[in-house]
Structure 1
Amino acid sequence: MPQLQCVWDIRAELGEGPVWSVREQVLYFVDIAGQAIHRLHPASGARASWPTPLRPGFVTPVSDGTLLCGLKDGLYSLDPTGGEFRREVAVEPGLPGNRINDGCVDSKGRLWFGTMDDGESVPSGALYSVTRRAGGLDVRHHDEGYVVTNGPGISPDGRRLYHNHSPAGIIYVFDLADDGSLSNRRVFARVGDGYPDGVVVDSAGTLWVGVWNGGRIARFLPDGTALPAIPVPGALNVTKVAFGGPDLRTAYVTTARRNTPPDRLARMPQAGSLFSLRVDVPGQAPVAFPATEFDALHGMTLGRD
């Protein structure tokens, strides 16, 4: 069984959303409750952090070297050199009790993200996609009825999208068309002994799913068959995996201290930290969100952030 090591003893309250930048050879991730974005350069060990004005759900590289961040009430751009945030578009302004949660970019440069009820009780969350258009961002609503959304994740052929309804323990799969439309939502797998959190799909199509309150990474083959889970002894709440490194064979794992009983924290002092392990099958090449309409039209971001 692969052995995990702690690569940043940051002890985040709610570590989430790891994503690898090919351009920078760094890993970004967020601390939702701690209202911060973090960056690790594994080769040198250099670290950087940016406080966020609102709780961040995800961060993703943009093709011009900036970042696009899903904060509580909308999508914001961030220039890491200056640390300044600018709101690009509001999301669900009529639902102040909601917030943006997890997100990812597919092979065509589309951003996918979900929203959720911040109180984790009302099924007010939804699934959205975002494309770059002349004059700004085009946000498209796809599905709804979620209390807590997590994922999304995309299959290597770009034809399937996976998305979690975490409190129900359900991983859904949709058919994803070339034009970005979704259809045929169905149950892909169910997770017990914990709740499915963030999803990432490797280059072979295997799903890696962080298990909240489960202390492990669940894994599923493309046909839904469960593979042996990977224990994460350092944390009860495992949130998400991202593949990085020059060969995309280092799996980085975010975790959270939040909602860990005090007796468990005493035995898991590094809960909330960033862990890693080496894997045999690489992840998919990360894709940056396009900075301009020209990038979006000509596919200049594909695997090249």
Structure 2
Amino acid sequence: MARELTTLVTGGKFYEGPRWHDGQWWVSDFYRRSVFTVTTDGVETHQFDVDEQPSGMGWLPDGSLVVVSMKDRHLVRRAPDGTVGHYADLSSVAGGHVNDMVVDDRGRVYVGNFGFDLMGGAPMGPADLARVDPDGTITVVAEGLHFPNGSVITPDGSTLIVAETTGAGFVAFTITDDGSLVDRRVWASMGDVPDTTDVMEALGSGLPAPDGCTLDAEGHIWFADAVGARVARVAPGGEIVESVPMPDGLGAFACQLGGEDGRTLLICAAPDFFEHSRSVADEAVLLTMQVDVPHAGRP
């Protein structure tokens, strides 16, 4: 089925962490070091700065917004009155830049990290997934993930599904009442990953590299393929049931279902993900696409 892509916003540096909240889009821009809102007709408004590079975000039950601060491995909180301050220090449990996250209905934040110095060219290493509780307690809840990235929680709150960018798939966990993660299993496998510590070799294997993602009401996941220049919809198990290529010259790095009926897919697109090229150019765009099955779960 052909899908029509529409350009909503141009002139960003590198958009990430898209969310739909209170009738508008929220996005991070890595290299403008800021969080923005975007209306459905494309009006972008600066909200606040995150000097050490914002990424994933989510809302606590009290209406506060929590945003990843990547380079210092922290979370920051924007209170309902607009005050921005420290929320959590993850430097003791993160082996690389903190990246994407999801908040459950009790205000527990599940947050991943790269696991190694991606932009510095370090060898790939496994990463841990952390949970930040409302009282500030930080707990490692899963170990040995392959670049944990976009994450979703099912509508009943029982299951956390995490994209593994260098693992060509998704891993799922059952969320217990106290927030622990048990029953780790493969949710979707899209190929056998090469045995390498070279990230460019891994990403150049031709396998999908799931980045930011979003769950729909049929239990499928739309994900941005960080090396495949597309967004794709994957079924439990790993079958890709739909694939939509990006316009020439653009890659896709995150996506989120939203809009008033939950059927608009917002896509964060840019020519590549390299800091040295994105930080000096204004070539990132936000694209939208209408889909058939609406959003479900969190975020």
Aligned pairs for 1:114-133 (under 5 A) are: 114-117=112-115, 119-120=117-118, 121-123=123-125, 125-133=127-135
Aligned pairs for 1:1-305 (under 5 A) are: 1-13=2-14, 15-22=15-22, 25-42=23-40, 45-72=43-70, 73-79=73-79, 85-93=84-92, 98-117=96-115, 119-120=117-118, 121-123=123-125, 125-133=127-135, 137-146=136-145, 148-187=147-186, 188-190=188-190, 192-233=206-247, 236-259=250-273, 272-284=284-296
Kept after mapping to 2: 8 A contact 1:21/1:28: yes
Match of 1:290 in 2: none
> C-alpha displacement at 1:146, in angstroms?
3.8
SS where residue 167 of structure 1 aligns? coil
> C-alpha displacement at 1:147, in angstroms?
5.4
Flag structure 1 segments of 5+ consecutive residues without an equivalent: 288-305
Kept after mapping to 2: 8 A contact 1:154/1:200: no
Kept after mapping to 1: 8 A contact 2:34/2:46: no
| Structure 1 CA distance for aligned equivalents of residues 238 and 208 of structure 2 | 18
Q: Which moved more, 1:64-73 or 1:238-247?
A: 64-73
Q: Which moved more, 1:202-211 or 1:183-192?
A: 183-192
| Structure 2 CA distance for aligned equivalents of residues 58 and 282 of structure 1 | 21
> C-alpha displacement at 1:227, in angstroms?
0.5
Give the number of equivalent residue pairs.
272
Q: Give the counterpart letter for 1:12 in structure 2.
A: K
| Structure 2 CA distance for aligned equivalents of residues 107 and 201 of structure 1 | 16
Give the direction of change, closer, same or farther, for the CA distance of 1:63–1:159 in structure 2 (3 Å limit): closer
SS where residue 98 of structure 1 aligns? coil
**Higher RCO (C-alpha under 8 Å, 6+ residues apart):** 1
Give the direction of change, closer, same or farther, for the CA distance of 1:139–1:211 in structure 2 (3 Å limit): same
Kept after mapping to 1: 8 A contact 2:250/2:272: no
Kept after mapping to 1: 8 A contact 2:6/2:289: yes
| Structure 1 CA distance for aligned equivalents of residues 117 and 42 of structure 2 | 39
| Structure 2 CA distance for aligned equivalents of residues 151 and 193 of structure 1 | 17
> C-alpha displacement at 1:256, in angstroms?
3.0
Q: Normalising by the residue count of structure 2, what TM-score does the alignment of the two structures yield?
A: 0.79
> C-alpha displacement at 1:258, in angstroms?
3.3
Flag structure 2 segments of 5+ consecutive residues without an equivalent: 192-205
| Structure 2 CA distance for aligned equivalents of residues 64 and 235 of structure 1 | 41
**Identity rate, percent:** 25
Q: CA RMSD in A?
A: 2.8
| Structure 2 CA distance for aligned equivalents of residues 172 and 74 of structure 1 | 24
Q: Which moved more, 1:179-188 or 1:1-10?
A: 179-188
Give the direction of change, closer, same or farther, for the CA distance of 1:194–1:114 in structure 2 (3 Å limit): same
**1:38-66 deviations in Å (ceiling 9; x for gaps):** 21122573532533221112122344444
Kept after mapping to 1: 8 A contact 2:130/2:142: yes
**1:66-120 deviations in Å (ceiling 9; x for gaps):** 42111122111125875x531122112476x622101122344432210124522
Q: Give the counterpart letter for 2:46 in structure 1.
A: A
